[in-house]
Amino acid sequence: MDAMSVSRITWVWFALILATGLSWQFGHGFGFGEKFHYATVAILIITFIKVRFVFLDFMELRTAPLSLRLAFEAWAVLVCGTLIFLYWSGI
């Protein structure tokens, strides 16, 4: 593993920790007050951004064949969008 990939992994790990803290704060009303619906959607989006980083950098999909990476990206957008739609529709 070269120095550049170690550096990227370290930055991604740090960003994941910050995203976890931000999600936790949103869950406790930080930034949205009584508008918890917006906080829930923000937490879902942050979660799928984290999933994307984990898959791309820690499961090495960043260097995988393009078709596999596109399938994962489509899956992530579809699942995140579906969860947000189901949450807002109240189903």
State the pTM of this model: 0.82
pLDDT digits (tens, 9 = 90+) for 14-66: 999 999 999 999 888 777 777 888 888 999 999 999 999 999 999 999 999 99
pLDDT digits (tens, 9 = 90+) for 27-41: 887 777 778 888 889
CA-to-CA separations, 38 to 70, 75, 89, in angstroms, rounded: 28, 23, 14
CA-to-CA separations, 47 to 5, 19, 23, 27, 74, in angstroms, rounded: 23, 8, 8, 12, 16
